[in-house]
């Protein structure tokens, strides 16, 4: 029943039964396949074995792992913009120019 919904044999390639492409027929390295490969490495599987299973070089696999970790680190540094950002920008502009004069500072002589 699942084979009909997924399109028959093509669905078998994405299942967890370990199906591989026919010899001489390379499977496309989709983002999901790269994700799976990187997670296997991060869980402790040897790099060489995962590279062999996915028919890629160890260098490619290490590059994907490094990119994955870099993107994760970068996402921890940023936050989503919200309505506070507009208020902060407006107040910075105000304090940076005329706002200073509202606090009793005198205008410089022009």
Residue 97, domain member (yes or no): yes
Residue 110, domain member (yes or no): no
Task: For residue 10, name the pLDDT band (cuts at 50, 70, 90).
Answer: very low
Which residues are within 8 A (CB) of 52 and not within 5 positions of it... i.e. 6 or more apart?
A: none
**What is the pLDDT at residue 105?**
55
The number of beta carbons lying within 10 Å of the beta carbon of residue 49 is 11
**What is the pLDDT at residue 98?**
58
Residue 20, domain member (yes or no): yes
Number of domains in the chain: 1
Residue 109, domain member (yes or no): no
% of the chain surpassing 70 pLDDT? 61
Residue 42, domain member (yes or no): yes
pTM for the model? 0.49
Residue 107, domain member (yes or no): no
Q: How far apart are CA 51 and CA 57, in angstroms?
A: 6
Q: Which structural domain, as residue segments, surrounds residue 47?
A: 2-102
What's the pLDDT tens digit per position in 37-77?
Answer: 999 999 999 999 999 999 999 999 999 999 999 998 888 87
Residue 108, domain member (yes or no): no
């Amino acid at each position: 029943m699942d084979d009909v919904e997924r399109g028959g044999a093509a669905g078998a390639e994405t299942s967890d039964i370990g199906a591989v492409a026919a010899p001489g027929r390379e499977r496309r390295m989709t983002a999901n396949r790269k994700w799976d490969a990187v997670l296997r490495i991060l869980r402790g599987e040897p790099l060489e074995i995962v590279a062999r299973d996915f028919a890629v070089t160890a260098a490619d696999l290490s590059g994907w792992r490094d990119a994955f970790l870099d993107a994760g680190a970068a996402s921890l540094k940023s936050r989503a913009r919200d309505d506070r950002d507009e208020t902060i920008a407006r107040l910075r502009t105000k304090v940076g120019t005329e706002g200073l004069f509202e606090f009793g500072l005198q205008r410089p002589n022009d």
